[in-house]
Each structure stands twice: as structure tokens, then as C-alpha cells.
Amino acid sequence: MSGSVSSEEGELNAIIKEFLEFSKLNKTLETFEEECQKIGKPIQDLAGKSRRDQRIMKIKNELLQHFDNGKRTEFFAEWETHVNPELRENSLFCQKLEFSLQIHFAVLPMRKIDHWCKEEIDEAMVHFHYYLESKGSVLSECAEFLPYYALPYVPRPNTHPSFAELFQALPNGVWCLQQPILTWINNPVPLGEKVRKSEDKPWEIP
């Protein structure tokens, strides 16, 4: 609660500072800044916040664009660049989300009703198989994901009852597994907490 109040106070003080600068009340501005510093009142950098918000929006839009276009390589390049690596490695929620993302891209070529491309399907499964044997192995004892470890070995998973939900669309046209992924990406607050605040600062865990 105190952090929220401090943040709001910092924004308010920044607005006051901006007004004094605009009004060219330099002596008042100088006194205001000195008093804030003396009693420990924050003055937030609104320009820096705005730049960070714009950067987060750009990352979000790129992730969604690659997700919607089925660009697996580009999506995970953005994911690994911008999402805190300690969060990806240590957060169970983030690990489960990444597993769902991997499933999404693994079966995406089989969701194309108009045509199937065997090369695309095989390539997608090779990537998924590699993921299961590497990073995905940490969830091998998680009951909800156990069936998916057999996915690369099933010839036509779209007809297998164990994987039926992977090929079921919701009324809004979104595939079932896409919903939690889209919810997470579309929420700017969690994404903002999970990316670096700037390129020259270390990763920060929320």
C-alpha cells in the first residue's frame, strides 16, 4: 500500500514540477525541489515512465504479432530477450505458460483446415521434442502436462481424444490454449513488471 501511495505522490510532485517549469517560476521550482529532497518526498521522472510505457507497449505488440502470425522463432526471441530470465527459470507460473506456448506452436500447423504441410508439421514437432528434452523436462512430473510428452509420437494428434482441446476453438475464435497466453500478454501491468526497466539496468524480479 505504501509503495502505491509513494508512486502516486511522486507522480503528483512531478506534475507540480512540470507546471512550475512551464510557468517559468524558477525560484519557486528550486525551493520546491529542495524541500522535497529535504523531507524525502519523491518526484517521479514522468518522461522516463512514458518511455518505459512505450517500450512495454512495443514489446507487447511484437509478441502478439508473432503469436498471431505463428512466427515461433521470432516470438521466442522476443520472449527470451525481454522477459526476466530468473522469472522464466524460477517461476512455476511462467514455466507453465512457456510450456503452453510451446504446445501452441507445436500444433499450429495442424490447425490449418485448408491445407496441411508435412514439412511444417514435422519441423514444429522437432522443435517441441527438443524443448521437452531440455527446458520442458522441469515439468515432467506435473500431472497436467504429462500427456503432452507423448505428443511428438502421435501420428495425428488432432484425432486423438487426449489432445482434443488443442483443436477446439472458443466462441470468439480463439483456440483454448491461447486464452491464458493472450490474457497474460494483453495485460500491460504484469508484462511491465516482468521486463527490464531499461537496456542498461540489470534484470529485476517483481
pLDDT digits (tens, 9 = 90+) for 56-77: 778 888 888 898 888 999 999 9
- What pLDDT is recorded for position 49? 59
Q: What angle do CA 1, 34, 197 make, to 5 degrees?
A: 50
> How many angstroms separate the CA atoms of 85 and 202, rounded?
11
What are the tens digits of pLDDT across the range 23-37?
778 888 889 888 888
User: 43 or 135: which carries more pLDDT confidence?
Assistant: 135
Q: What is the mean pLDDT of residues 38-42?
A: 86
- What grid cell was written down for 152? 511428438
Backbone torsions φ then ψ of 199, nearest 5 degrees: -70, -20
Q: What is the mean pLDDT of residues 127-133?
A: 95
Long-range contacts, stretch 198-204, CB < 8 angstroms, 24+ apart: 198/52, 203/84, 203/85, 203/86, 204/84
Q: Mean pLDDT over all residues of the chain?
A: 78
> How many angstroms separate the CA atoms of 199 and 82, rounded?
10
Q: Which residues pair with 175 in a beta bridge?
A: 169
What pTM, to 2 d.p., does this model score?
Answer: 0.65
